[in-house]
Amino acid sequence: MKKSTFSPAKIAGILKEFSGGRSAEELARENGISTATLYKWRQKY
């Protein structure tokens, strides 16, 4: 299994922005991830 290139702290920061009202599409585009990854992170963290 491939190791994540994002640290847990970075993921937490992205998710904090997401819960603050930013759109999933905008955050995904900005960070080079898919929206599916963003939603998976939200379930996991």
Token reading at 19: 């819960």
pLDDT of 1-41, one tens digit each?
677 789 999 999 999 999 999 999 999 999 999 999 999 99
Per-residue confidence (pLDDT) for residue 6, from 0 to 100: 94
What whole-number distance in Å separates Cα of residue 3 and Cα of residue 6?
Answer: 9
Per-residue confidence (pLDDT) for residue 3, from 0 to 100: 76
Per-residue confidence (pLDDT) for residue 2, from 0 to 100: 74
Domain ranges of the chain: 8-44
3-state helix/strand/coil string of 1-45: CCCCCCCHHHHHHHHHHHHCCCCHHHHHHHHCCCHHHHHHHHHHC
Token reading at 14: 């992205």
What is this structure's pTM?
A: 0.84
Per-residue confidence (pLDDT) for residue 40, from 0 to 100: 96
Instruction: Tell the residue number behind the tokens 């999933």, with chain if given.
Output: 24
